Amino acid sequence: MSTAGETIHHPDKTIAVDTLAIPISLLQKMSEALELFAAFQVIIERRGKPIAAVVSFDEYRRFSAWREERAARRAWVLERDPRRKMSAEEWHAHFEALDRFAAHFDDVTPEELEAEITEAIISVRIKERATKEDRQ
């Protein structure tokens, strides 16, 4: 069944259907339509613009869980955001302190800095391994 305004992409099982192209009888029998669309991701369009999507209940549940988890993560991050615990002046003062510290390294090239950091990381890892082996 294909009507004007209907786009069917079989490779990814996506259907975009303009509501004006769906026969009234099909709209009245929504349960039959949902069974028909169950195997596809359905995007309902009006005049070529998406207005809704029909997804399985399991997919809806997964999306809802993801959205809740994302909101919880965002709240957790915002709760720990240091900018929320200090004034804008204090926040900028901290960065000014970092800039003053960084000024001491103006003559160091990025390559030299990277080499120093790499060497420091390797040194710490060697010490951590030695400490771990001593515990065993």
pLDDT in tens, 47-98: 989 988 888 778 878 888 888 888 888 888 777 776 667 777 877 887 888 8
For residues 129, 131, 134, 136, the Cα torsion angle rounded to the nearest 10 degrees is -70
For 65-77, the pLDDT digits (tens) are: 888 888 888 888 7
12 versus 71: the higher-pLDDT residue is: 71
The per-residue pLDDT for 28 is 66
98: left (phi over 0), alpha (psi -120 to 50) or beta: alpha
pTM summary value: 0.37
HSE-CB at 94 with a 13 A cutoff on CA atoms is: 8
Phi and psi at 84, nearest 5°, equal -80, -15
